């Protein structure tokens, strides 16, 4: 395969850079292509292009902006075959999952076009009218991670543009290629400067968040980086939305049908090789069903097909990058060194590729790193509980508050437990999903603000209130 070398989109034009960064296929560890390494001057160009486009874009009627978004959705769908293959080759996920992500992103764009910016009238008398409208913020920087590069970018870009902002999108250096391609597709559809897509190494994110020409940063990534983004945005008081890490607890009540629920929980933990912010990351199972649950998990972990995501029948791909591969391996090694039991016991995969087969840590103590840290990989702790109050306390004993789930045959009892969990999303007898119409907001150190739904849309606007006295003589 010839090297894949997409370029940036700045002010509606194709822009290359004098330096490029290599992108590695995680299934082969071979360089797959490269992306431009945006220079500070090119970043200035992108900000100037976005600023230059913002007012005219905001001045268009919202229905016109919606027509542009629908055209973008259609064009992404039309390119779904190519985009999915490219996504698999740089991210590692299976082709079916990559296609699901691309089609999901196109559907998400369509969803945003069903919303309108509200006008709030708080006073309407013969003397006076008080009315609040929503105006765009200006230039939005959208920063995305490597686990779901396209769908997470679209969760920012589409509502930001619908609200009338222009955008500078920066993907992760591990997965820039598909995002750059989406920028190329958008070039023919959106007015110049409305969507700029730039790529670069580790320095580009900090340059972007510190840039005085940017009004809002919408960031998805780790909690650690989120703190840095907040610091960097402080001097110019940029608006912020931070979607950060999670260590989602799951509580399984004793009345569940184990054979039915276990496979759902298995996939809640291991889909995308565990590299999902809202994956099941700590699973608390009632003692009465613990052994049966563990045995179904172990059987599935034994049987699941792990390999190159482009191969037919593969269910789980590799981890995305060498750093994440080492982190997850270290957590496994640490667990083994601490005398914890891991099932099944897999021999380390022979290279190349960042492959780790799924495994379960059998009832580790609460203070084990595999319980305390976000693993973001295919290894999950299953923990026994006898007393529901104790399970809830343990589930809540974390700095994170992204998602949580409760599984039980009696919905009312499960819901009663769910109401006591401290996170922004709580699923009851449901695998982790994010309905685009509902706000998704990390509690505690899992985030600031919300994405999705009306709240997500409004986060790309500021309120502007008009107080109109009908007659100066009264
Ligand atoms: P990361 O924080 O390392 O990187 C995320 C993005 O930020 C990348 O584009 C990166 O280049 C950029 N970046 C790095 N340093 C920066 C800085 N100082 N300033 C500005 N930008 C910077 O995260 P990752 O490893 O790509 O993704 C995995 C993490 O993301 C996990 O913790 C996961 O839980 C989290 N995540 C959260 C959500 C959510 O919606 N809450 C969704 C997916 C992933």
User: In 10 A of CB 187, how many CB atoms?
Assistant: 16
Question: Does 243 sit in the ligand 1 pocket, CB within 6 Å?
Answer: yes
- The DSSP call for residue 59 is H
Question: Does 402 sit in the ligand 1 pocket, CB within 6 Å?
Answer: yes
Strand extents, DSSP E, 43-107: none
C-alpha span between 349 and 140 (Å, rounded): 42
Query: Could you read off the pLDDT of 309-330 as tens digits, one per residue?
Result: 999 999 999 999 999 999 999 9
C-alpha span between 281 and 378 (Å, rounded): 10
- 13-52 burial, b for 16+ CB within 10 Å, e for fewer? eebebeebbebbbbbeeeebbbbbbbbeebbebbbbbbbe
For tokens 């007659």, the residue is 471
- Under the banding of pLDDT at 50, 70 and 90, the label for residue 348 is confident
Would the pTM of this model clear 0.75, i.e. be above it?
Answer: yes
Q: Which residues pair with 418 in a beta bridge?
A: none
Question: Does 92 sit in the ligand 1 pocket, CB within 6 Å?
Answer: no
> What pLDDT sits at residue 349?
77
Residues 417 and 251 sit within 8 Å (Cβ to Cβ):
yes
- Under the banding of pLDDT at 50, 70 and 90, the label for residue 473 is low
> What pLDDT sits at residue 1?
54
Q: How far is the CA of 362 from the centre of ligand 1 (A)?
A: 29
Residues 407 and 421 sit within 8 Å (Cβ to Cβ):
no
> What pLDDT sits at residue 308?
98
Q: Enter the tokens of residue 92.
A: 């590692």
> What pLDDT sits at residue 164?
98
Give the residue-averaged pLDDT of 304-310.
97
Q: How far is the CA of 90 from the centre of ligand 1 (A)?
A: 16
What percentage of the chain carries pLDDT values higher than 70? 99
For tokens 């799951």, the residue is 250
- The DSSP call for residue 349 is P
Give percent helix, percent strand, percent coil of the chain, each to the nearest 5.
40, 25, 35
Peptide linkage before 344 cis (omega within 30 of 0): yes
Q: How far is the CA of 370 from the centre of ligand 1 (A)?
A: 20
Q: How far does Cα 19 stand from its chain's mean position? A: 28
Query: Could you read off the pLDDT of 65-105 as tens digits, one per residue?
Result: 999 999 999 999 999 999 999 999 999 999 999 999 999 99
C-alpha span between 27 and 15 (Å, rounded): 29
C-alpha span between 21 and 37 (Å, rounded): 6
Ligand 1 atom showing the smallest separation from residue 451 Cα: 40
Sign of the four-CA dihedral 80, 440, 161, 275: negative
C-alpha span between 25 and 9 (Å, rounded): 23
DSSP string covering 377-395: SSEEEEEEES-HHHHHHHH
Question: Does 254 sit in the ligand 1 pocket, CB within 6 Å?
Answer: no
**453: three-class secondary structure by DSSP:** helix
> What torsion do the CA atoms of 59, 64, 67, 68 make, to the nearest 10 degrees?
-30
Query: Could you read off the pLDDT of 219-232 as tens digits, one per residue?
Result: 999 999 999 999 99
Ligand 1 atom showing the smallest separation from residue 143 Cα: 9
Rounded to the nearest integer, the mean pLDDT of the chain is 97
Residues 36 and 70 sit within 8 Å (Cβ to Cβ):
no
* Cβ-based neighbours of 5, under 8 Å, separated by 6 or more: 20, 33, 34, 35
- Candidates 269, 338, 337, 279; CA nearest to 301 is 269
- Identify which of 221, 274, 278 to mutate to test ligand 1's pocket (most ligand atoms within 8 A of the CB): 221
What percentage of the chain carries pLDDT values higher than 90? 97
**Cα–Cα distances in angstroms (integers) from residue 100 to residues 28, 107, 181, 211, 377, in the given order:** 23, 10, 17, 34, 20
Question: Does 327 sit in the ligand 1 pocket, CB within 6 Å?
Answer: no
Angle at Cα 143 formed by Cα 137 and Cα 146, nearest 5°? 155
Q: How far is the CA of 171 from the centre of ligand 1 (A)?
A: 10
Query: Could you read off the pLDDT of 450-468 as tens digits, one per residue?
Result: 999 999 999 999 999 999 9
């Amino acid at each position: 395969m010839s090297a894949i070398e997409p370029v940036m989109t700045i002010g509606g034009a194709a822009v290359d850079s004098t330096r490029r960064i290599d992108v590695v296929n995680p299934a082969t560890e071979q360089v797959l292509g490269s992306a431009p390494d945006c220079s500070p001057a090119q970043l200035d160009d992108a900000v100037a292009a976005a600023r230059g486009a913002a007012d005219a874009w905001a001045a268009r009627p919202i229905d016109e902006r919606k027509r542009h978004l629908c055209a973008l959705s259609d064009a992404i769908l039309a390119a779904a075959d190519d985009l999915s293959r490219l996504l698999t080759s740089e991210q590692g996920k299976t082709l079916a999952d990559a296609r699901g992500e691309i089609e999901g992103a196109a559907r998400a764009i369509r969803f945003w076009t069903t919303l309108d910016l509200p006008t709030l009238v708080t006073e309407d008398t013969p003397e006076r009218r008080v009315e609040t409208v929503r105006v765009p913020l200006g230039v939005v920087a959208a920063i995305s991670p490597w686990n779901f590069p396209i769908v997470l970018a679209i969760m920012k870009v589409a509502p930001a543009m619908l609200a009338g902002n222009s955008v500078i999108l920066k993907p992760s250096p591990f997965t820039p290629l598909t995002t750059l391609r989406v920028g190329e597709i958008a070039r023919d559809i959106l007015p110049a400067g409305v969507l700029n897509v730039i790529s670069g190494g580790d320095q580009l994110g900090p340059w972007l968040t510190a840039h005085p020409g940017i009004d809002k940063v919408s960031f998805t990534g780790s909690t650690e980086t989120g703190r840095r983004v907040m610091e960097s945005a402080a001097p110019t008081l940029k608006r912020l939305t931070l979607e950060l890490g999670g260590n989602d607890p799951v509580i399984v009540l004793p009345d569940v049908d184990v054979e039915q629920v276990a496979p759902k929980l298995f996939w809640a933990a291991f889909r995308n090789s565990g590299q999902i912010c809202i994956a099941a990351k700590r699973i608390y199972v009632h003692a009465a069903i613990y052994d049966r649950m563990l045995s179904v998990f172990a059987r599935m972990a034994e049987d699941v097909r792990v390999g190159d995501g482009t191969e037919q029948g593969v269910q789980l791909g590799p981890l995305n990058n060498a750093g994440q591969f080492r982190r997850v391996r270290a957590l496994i090694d640490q667990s083994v060194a601490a005398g914890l039991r891991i099932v099944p016991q897999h021999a380390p995969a022979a290279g190349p590729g960042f492959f780790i087969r799924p495994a379960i840590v059998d009832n580790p103590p609460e203070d084990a790193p595999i319980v305390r840290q976000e693993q973001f990989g295919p290894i999950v702790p299953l923990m026994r509980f006898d007393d529901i109050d104790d399970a809830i306390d343990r589930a809540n004993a974390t700095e994170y508050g992204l998602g949580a789930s409760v599984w039980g045959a009696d919905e009312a009892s499960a819901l009663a437990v769910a109401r006591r969990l401290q996170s922004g999303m709580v699923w009851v007898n449901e695998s982790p999903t994010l309905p685009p119409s509902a706000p998704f907001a990390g509690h505690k150190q899992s985030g600031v603000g919300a994405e999705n739904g009306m709240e997500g849309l409004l986060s790309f606007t500021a309120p502007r209130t008009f107080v109109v006295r009908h007659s100066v003589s009264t």
